[in-house]
């Protein structure tokens, strides 16, 4: 195991969040939209650690979901999710590759894959694979799915997930990874039961694929 994965940090942060929910049903929405915006700030004056190196960063995360009832039995789902984070502490010794000064902690670095971003890749297997990110990182994640009537409360839904993950730049469309697939959803009073099959077209180097996902609730 990489020793950097076992690091112990003290992170003091504030995370104000705004949410607006205009969906017809929070558990099984068929129309409306949901918006969320959060900003996280960590600094030594917020009780993040000062030694052996100071931790300071901020990250902005946005999510927007839209549910379009095309017909009473056919629903189309759109989602856009994005994030940007940057280090706020200066680098003390940039010539030392093991020096973590000024870097964003691994636990706070963006990583994609899995039900929440790219169905077709294992959870968090799409990452920047860089121990000490001292600049910025960003991602853009697009998701769309059409739920078609199949049998009673069971629906069939082809989908397409796409996302990128960039270092020291932000782009809405550059270096996108695509994961098409299809889903079976069984609607229950407490939310849908989902069975998803994703197939990555251009998986990033070093990422792990996973075609099958089982979940309960909105993804």
Distance CA 219, CA 216 (A): 8
Dihedral pair phi/psi, residue 44, rounded to 5°:
-55, -35
Distance CA 169, CA 31 (A): 34
Report the domain count for the chain: 1
Predicted pLDDT of residue 2: 47
Predicted pLDDT of residue 167: 95
Q: Which two tokens stand for residue 119?
A: 């169905």
Dihedral pair phi/psi, residue 54, rounded to 5°:
-75, 145
The DSSP secondary structure of 12-58, one letter per residue, reads -EE--EEEEE--S-SSS--SEEEEEEEEEEE-GGGT---SSS---EE
Tens of pLDDT, residue by residue, the chain (219 residues): 444 555 678 999 999 999 999 999 988 899 999 999 999 999 999 999 988 888 999 999 999 999 999 999 999 999 999 999 999 987 655 556 566 667 898 999 999 999 999 999 999 999 998 778 889 999 999 999 999 999 988 999 999 999 999 999 999 999 999 999 999 999 888 889 999 999 999 999 889 998 899 998 887
Coil, strand or helix at 102? coil
Give the range of the structural domain holding residue 64, as residue numbers without chain letter. Answer: 3-216
Predicted pLDDT of residue 103: 85
* CATH code of the domain covering residue 44: 2.40.160.50
Predicted pLDDT of residue 139: 98
Predicted pLDDT of residue 65: 98
Residue with tokens 């020291």: 168
Distance CA 119, CA 126 (A): 11
Residue with tokens 């894959």: 113
Distance CA 144, CA 68 (A): 11
Q: Among 60, 62, 68, which Cα is nearest to 33's?
A: 68
pTM above 0.85, yes or no: yes
Could you tell me how many residues make up the chain? 219
Dihedral pair phi/psi, residue 106, rounded to 5°:
-55, -40
Q: Among 122, 133, 131, which Cα is nearest to 168's?
A: 133
Is the Cα torsion angle 91, 5, 57, 86 positive or negative in sign? positive
């Amino acid at each position: 195991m990489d020793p950097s994965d076992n690091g112990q940090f003290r992170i003091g942060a504030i995370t104000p969040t705004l949410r607006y929910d205009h969906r017809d049903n929070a558990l099984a929405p068929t129309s409306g939209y949901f918006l969320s915006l959060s900003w996280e700030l960590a600094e030594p004056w917020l009780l993040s650690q000062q030694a052996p190196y100071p931790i300071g960063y901020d990250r902005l995360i946005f999510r927007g979901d839209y549910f379009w009832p095309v017909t009473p039995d056919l629903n189309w789902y759109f989602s856009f999710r994005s994030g940007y984070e940057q280090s706020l502490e200066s680098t003390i010794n940039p010539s030392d590759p093991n020096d973590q000064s000024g870097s964003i902690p691994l636990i706070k670095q963006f990583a994609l894959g899995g039900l929440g971003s790219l169905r077709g890749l294992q959870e968090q297997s799409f990452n920047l694979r860089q121990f000490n990110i001292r600049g910025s990182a960003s991602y853009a994640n697009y998701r769309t799915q059409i739920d078609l009537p199949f049998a009673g409360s069971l629906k069939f839904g082809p989908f397409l997930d796409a996302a990128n993950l960039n270092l020291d730049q932000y782009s809405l469309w550059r270096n996108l990874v695509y994961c098409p697939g299809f889903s079976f959803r069984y609607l229950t009073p407490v939310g849908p039961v989902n069975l998803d099959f994703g197939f990555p077209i251009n998986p990033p180097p070093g990422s792990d694929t996973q075609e099958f996902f089982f979940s309960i609730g909105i993804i």
